[in-house]
Amino acid sequence: MAVSLSSYSTFLSPVLRTKFVYRKSQELKLRFSCRPVVLNASYSSTSSFSWDDVYGVISKPDDSTSHSSKLDGFLQRIKTCNRGFEMKSEFLPFIIEEQIAGYVHNQFASHLRKFQDVFAFPEDNLFGNGGGGGYVILNPSLKLPEDRTKAVGDVIKCLGEGVIPGIRNELYPVTTSYGVPAYFSLERAAAPFFGIKAYGIHLIGYVDRDGEKSLWIGKRSDMKPTFPGMLDHLAAGGLPHGITCKENVMKECQEEAGIPRSISNGAVPVGAVSYVDINGYSYKRDVLFCYDLKLPADFVPTNEDGEVESFRLIPVKDVANIIRRTEFFKANCCLVIIDFLFRHGYISPEDPGYLNLLQSLRSGDCS
């Protein structure tokens, strides 16, 4: 099969020019050249607040008139991570080895239909798609994980930044649950477009002085392609293929906060949070493994990878108010910090809405 550029031009960005050659070996060869693509403004724009604004929020008197209103602010942050359930019918199940491995928007699927040697689209309703039947599978000739990884990876390279922004050349495992063998590995930026389950590690670094806990909070670099300039906790990262959570924690601690392994080795796994965020063609199904790290009182983090502009040490109660009153934090970080508030007694069963808020921290499938 040969795919011409002219037949594909309705789907590709006009700045992307690609030449396809399909050889008898059934290997898809992709030769392409790309000019720079201007990303969507919502993806690349920076936040418009400073540390002065953050401290301005902290300095305001508590405006809660009841315990309920306090928890309502937290619940709103969690809802930000769990959008678009009404759009689920617009997605086709992505089936691998007769298991649902992800979800693909029917419009994004129009890009994939051009690669018939990689994807196929049965029309039956075998997997219960409420949007009218049909699902996406890999070509049955792609049986080995490494063959699937290469074939799908070549398609993603072809689609490029004009369709899938933020390509990082970092692979995520495609699997139905954590710890089981991967069907194949997928470019990280493409994970939400295929609706696969993605895993990450999030670490909260705190200092305890005379019984009062404070968190080290980072402000993301304005140059970050995702959530630039927003607040973040001390260290976090997606979980790539072939690395353990513990090893990833220590790697991210070193890169993002300059924490030596002699200290980060003491990070304690404390559970997980999850969410499902459907927005446009994106179907994010994320599970975040949470870690606590008690830091020496005299430790000061320093960023080593250019992804964090600066850090501040802020009392936990003030961090809670920032989350409750503003949208300064990167959205999924709010879930991790709210979970910390539960575990360290800053939210109690006496607060109306306690169980509802607790349950909402795991709105996605934690498997």
Tell me the domains of the chain and their CATH numbers: 68-82+199-274+284-361 (3.90.79.10), 86-194 (3.30.750.160)
94 is written with which tokens? 């992505």
DSSP for 192-208?
Answer: HHHT-EEEEEEEEEEEE
For the cut 90, the answer to whether the pLDDT of residue 342 exceeds it is yes
3-state SS class at 58: helix
Among residues 317, 185, 303, which one has the least CA distance to residue 238? 185
Confidence of residue 224 (pLDDT cuts 50, 70, 90): confident
Query: Roughly how many angstroms between the first and final C-alpha of the chain, as a whole number?
Result: 39
Could you tell me whether strands 282-294 and 197-209 are parallel, antiparallel, or unpaired per DSSP bridges?
parallel
| Helix and strand counts by DSSP (H, E) for the chain | 12, 15
pLDDT score for 13:
31
pLDDT score for 60:
87
In Å, what is the CA distance from 267 to each residue of 126, 168, 174, 250? 44, 27, 27, 8
Confidence of residue 174 (pLDDT cuts 50, 70, 90): very high
Q: Report percent pLDDT > 90 for the chain.
A: 78
The mean pLDDT value of the chain amounts to 86
Residue 32 CB-density burial (10 A; 0-12 exposed, 13-18 middle, 19+ buried): middle
Give CA–CA dist 223/215, Å, rounded.
24
The CB-side HSE value for 304 (13 A sphere, CA atoms) comes to 13
Confidence of residue 17 (pLDDT cuts 50, 70, 90): very low
Among residues 106, 161, 167, 152, which one has the least CA distance to residue 133? 106
pLDDT score for 7:
36
Give CA–CA dist 35/20, Å, rounded.
18
DSSP state of 41: H
Assess contact for 23 and 1: CB atoms under 8 A.
Answer: no
pTM: 0.85
Assess contact for 184 and 149: CB atoms under 8 A.
Answer: yes
55 Cβ partners below 8 Å, 6+ apart? Answer: none
pLDDT score for 64:
53
pLDDT score for 130:
54
Confidence of residue 127 (pLDDT cuts 50, 70, 90): confident
**What tens digit of pLDDT does each residue of 293-311 get?**
999 999 999 999 999 999 9
Among residues 154, 158, 125, which one has the least CA distance to residue 138? 154
- Residue listed under structure tokens 């980072």: 218
3-state SS class at 335: helix
Alpha helix segments (H runs only) across the chain? 5-8, 41-44, 51-59, 67-81, 109-112, 145-159, 191-194, 245-257, 261-264, 316-325, 331-343, 354-360
Confidence of residue 70 (pLDDT cuts 50, 70, 90): confident
39 is written with which tokens? 């990303």
